[in-house]
Amino acid sequence: MADLEGLKRDAAARALQLVRPGMKLGLGTGSTAKHFVELLGEKVRAGLEVVGVPTSEQTRELALACGVPLTSLDETPALDLTVDGADEIDHDLRLIKGGGAALLREKIVAQASARMIVIADETKLVERLGRFPLPVEVAPFGLAATIMAVRRAIERAGCHGSVTVRPHKAGGALVTDGGHNILDAALGSIPDAARLSDELHEVPGVMGHGLFLGLATGAVLATRAGVRTLGQID
């Protein structure tokens, strides 16, 4: 399958080979993670025993429809493996996530996992993070003040660009599963991701941001020439 959806499914299929009976899995969000949940569902229906923690309500519904048994981090606080997509990935396995507005739950689930494998098509691999607007999840309370503080944090980290509230398709601001809003910071390039992460965490209204640093342990990237991997996979 040479089309983009085919590449995403190829990456998901390779990640599925890492799943062993009895594993506790983090289930990502997005169009690539959707392939993984669907393929996992096929295995479960064929007898594989696993449990999953979904990173969004969307993934929860899909997993249930596919027959994947679910648990929560309250019942199962330590997971074996999370498989999730990404909006950007660099050669050091640093990510931008949150294009699907699930970044906070995705980060909590990834942090709770012994391993996080990113699945993506080759277009997600970048030399430097920042072309994809960085999602920042914020409390609705004091939104205008938080936007100003986020802009200052971004400048302190040596970045420049616009910060906008992500709209909902039906009008108004998008609200995440956790009841927050999303700011999209169109930075073009992030010269110091660790500094930017630290600066954003200093803003009280910031619930989380889409920079995933030191969380991914490996990546499966599907290219037209076949699947390639980064980091530790097996």
- Whichever of 51 and 222 has its CB closer to ligand 5RP, that residue is 222
Nearer to ligand 5RP, 41 or 208 (CB): 208
* Selected catalytic residue, list 5, 57, 75, 106: 106
Site string for ligand 5RP, 157-196 (x = CB under 6 A): ----------------------------------------
Report in angstroms how near the CB of residue 162 gets to ligand 5RP at its nearest: 20
Q: Let me know if 106 is a catalytic residue.
A: yes
Instruction: Give CA–CA dist 98/177, Å, rounded.
Output: 12
Phi, psi of 102 (to 5 degrees): -110, 15
Stretch that binds ligand 5RP, among 14-22, 31-39, 139-147, 197-205 (CB under 6 A): 31-39
Among 26, 28, 41, 205, binds ligand 5RP (CB under 6 A): 28
Return the closest-CA partner of residue 221 out of 231, 208, 211. Answer: 231
Q: Which is nearer to ligand 5RP, 73 or 156 (CB)?
A: 73
Smallest distance, ligand 5RP to C-beta of residue 115, A:
16
Tokens linked to 190: 């992030």
Choose between 137 and 199: whose C-beta lies nearer to ligand 5RP: 137
CA distance 36 to 14: 9
Query: Site mask, ligand 5RP, residues 76-115, x = CB under 6 A?
Result: --------xxxx---------xxxxxxx--x---------
Q: Residue 133, interface with ligand 5RP (CB under 6 A)?
A: no
Of the residues 12, 16, 30, 44, which one makes contact with ligand 5RP according to CB under 6 A: 30
Catalytic residues: 106
Which residues here bind ligand 5RP, judged by CB under 6 A? 28-33, 84-87, 97-103, 106
